[in-house]
Amino acid sequence: MLNMVGETPNGMRPFREMPGPGHEFPWTAIGRQVELDRDPIRFMQKIRQRYGNLVRYESVCGREVFAFGPDNNRELHRNTDLFHSRPFVLKGPKFSSQTRLRYSIFQMNGPAYHEMRHQLLPPFQKTSVADYHTDVVRLIANATAPWQADTERDIHRDMHLLVWNIVRQILYGMEENQASSELHERLEHWMLQTFSPWVRAFQLNLSFMPYGKMLRKAEALEAHFLEIMQTRRDQGTPGRDALSSMLKIRGEDGKLLSTKAMVGHALTLFLVAYETTGNTLAWALFLLAQHPRVLQALLDELAPLRGDFPEANQLDKLPLLDNVVKETMRLLPAVPYNRRQVSKNGTLGEFQVPQGTRVMFSHYITHHLPEIYPEPERFLPERWETISPSPAEYLPFGAGVRTCLGASLAPFIIKLTLAHILPRWKLSLIPNSTLDRQLGISLGPKGGLPMHVARQDRRLQAVPIRGNIHEMVDLRHCESDSPALARAA
């Protein structure tokens, strides 16, 4: 058996290793950690290319393993007793709001996780999702009603607010005054701060430091959500939504858990639900705008609806729409990477991994492997007509017992939104604009997604754009009559 410490009997190292703090000056190690926090996708691509699918790194935070590819994905999702889920929100001081908000279903493991998931599952089940059709349709129509032709809109923000309103109503039963756009902005800012490399590098609880400012925002958010939860509990209004389910959960002593014990679950689940779906919607609209051939075919498929929303049972009869959503989630997965922590001494593949080892794995890297997806950077919805990847090869919602609760609800919302917007509105990127990625809880466009809005006339054309989007999506094959686009590619 290979040993993580020292060498194997035949003299081979058990992992390909990056130089760690023991091999370099500490500031270099800190710089590498900042590099990882600033752009995990680029960092992981670089180390995989240089070191392979299993890489050990003694970082400033301790022992880490980067595990890439389907075989490692399968092991990490199958052996949940060994590989425990870790919180993705930055830890705060003991007994702080930041630490309480960090505690959610996403960091639970074992029987406690399964019990919590069982309690929260009913509102997310496929049979329940169809019941949301009327409300979702109304909220989509309301969100796009103010749009006007020949204007410019931040489609990323529009899609976030659209999904925010859907989540607050159907999953949380909250009125608009309880979950306003102002709360949305505050929650967004706090989330991005928790992933800031500068906040993570300099954790000084001073009022003028970014870390201190993040802690103050956490206090305000906790107070707001506690008020919402306590009001709902005091009203005693029964409901089938996720918030009602949380407020009914009891501890081992049979007593209802306090709102303070549940506030992390409530806030984090809300955040993840709208953040990931909103980003995927924005990416889908971007990809379709830059791929006129695909959009023309999708408009043909939607034409028999004559502008009406598809019914819930019609969504399964729109194969290209389904393939567009699948391909968007493959190419630009909302959650591009995740982490686990080794709960006890064990093995990963052929290698020993001691207790406490942190393991990072990447949905994004897997989705861009050419041996699974030929021409992986191209947006090719038609590939789904002939492929059927395993859960370890395609995991936009994770896999196994930790599959995302929203695996049925998110595509439902995305498909209804696309079916409503695309026949009505032609969305085009601003020529020569810059589109870069930004990672918080989810992969999204940095600085928003400004797009020109016009009435749909089916005169479609891609435009030249700049930014590291070209590292993720091959836009050289986009159909366009624009010579500028060809030169830019």
What would the two tokens of residue 34 be?
């900042």
27 within domain boundaries: no
Q: What is the pLDDT of residue 25?
A: 34
**22: pLDDT confidence band, cut at 50, 70 and 90?**
very low
Q: What is the pLDDT of residue 30?
A: 58
57 within domain boundaries: no
Count other Cβ atoms within 10 Å, centred on residue 243. Answer: 25
Residue 302: give its domain's CATH number.
1.10.630.10
Which is more confident, 125 or 435?
435
Task: Please determine, for residue 2, whether its predicted confidence score (pLDDT) is greater than 50.
Answer: no
36 within domain boundaries: no
Percent of the chain predicted with pLDDT > 70: 90
10 within domain boundaries: no
Q: What is the pLDDT of residue 80?
A: 95
Task: Write the CB contacts of 101 (distance below 8 Å, at least 6 apart in sequence).
Answer: 89, 218, 221, 222, 263, 264, 267, 268
Task: Please determine, for residue 487, whether its predicted confidence score (pLDDT) is greater than 50.
Answer: no
Q: What integer is the mean pLDDT of 72-89? A: 93
**Three-class SS of residue 340?**
strand
- Smallest Cα–Cα separation from 465: which of 422, 442, 436, 425? 436
What is the rounded average pLDDT for all residues in the chain? 88
What would the two tokens of residue 37 be?
């926090």
What would the two tokens of residue 258 be?
């306090």
290-329 pLDDT tens trace: 999 999 999 999 999 998 999 999 999 999 999 999 999 9
379-423 pLDDT tens trace: 999 999 999 999 999 999 999 999 999 999 999 999 999 999 999
212 within domain boundaries: yes
The rounded distance, in Å, linking the Cα atoms of 351 and 347 is 5
> What percent of the chain is helix, strand and coil (3-state, nearest 5)?
50, 10, 35
The rounded distance, in Å, linking the Cα atoms of 228 and 235 is 11
What would the two tokens of residue 309 be?
């929303």
Q: CA angle, 151 as apex, 147 and 154 as ends, to 5°?
A: 75
Task: Write the CB contacts of 192 (distance below 8 Å, at least 6 apart in sequence).
Answer: 438, 440
451 within domain boundaries: yes
**Three-class SS of residue 66?**
strand
How does DSSP assign 380-428, residue by residue? -GGGGGT----TTT--BTB-GGG--GGGTHHHHHHHHHHHHHTTTEEEE
**203: pLDDT confidence band, cut at 50, 70 and 90?**
confident
437-480 pLDDT tens trace: 998 889 999 999 999 999 999 999 999 999 999 999 999 877 54
Number of domains observed in the structure of the chain: 1
75 within domain boundaries: yes
The rounded distance, in Å, linking the Cα atoms of 170 and 123 is 9
Structural domain containing residue 119 = 69-488
Residue type, 139: L
* Cβ–Cβ under 8 Å, residues 335 and 396: yes
30-63 pLDDT tens trace: 566 777 878 999 999 999 998 899 988 776 667 7
250-296 pLDDT tens trace: 888 888 889 999 999 999 989 899 999 999 999 999 999 999 999 99
349 within domain boundaries: yes
Question: What are the distances in angstroms from CA 27 to CA 60, 197, 292, 409?
Answer: 10, 15, 48, 45
Instruction: Name the H helices within 130-209.
Output: 133-144, 155-166, 181-194, 197-201
397 backbone dihedrals φ, ψ, rounded to 5°: -115, 20
Alpha-carbon torsion 73, 75, 77, 80, what sign? negative
**237: pLDDT confidence band, cut at 50, 70 and 90?**
low
**Whole-model pTM over 0.75:** yes
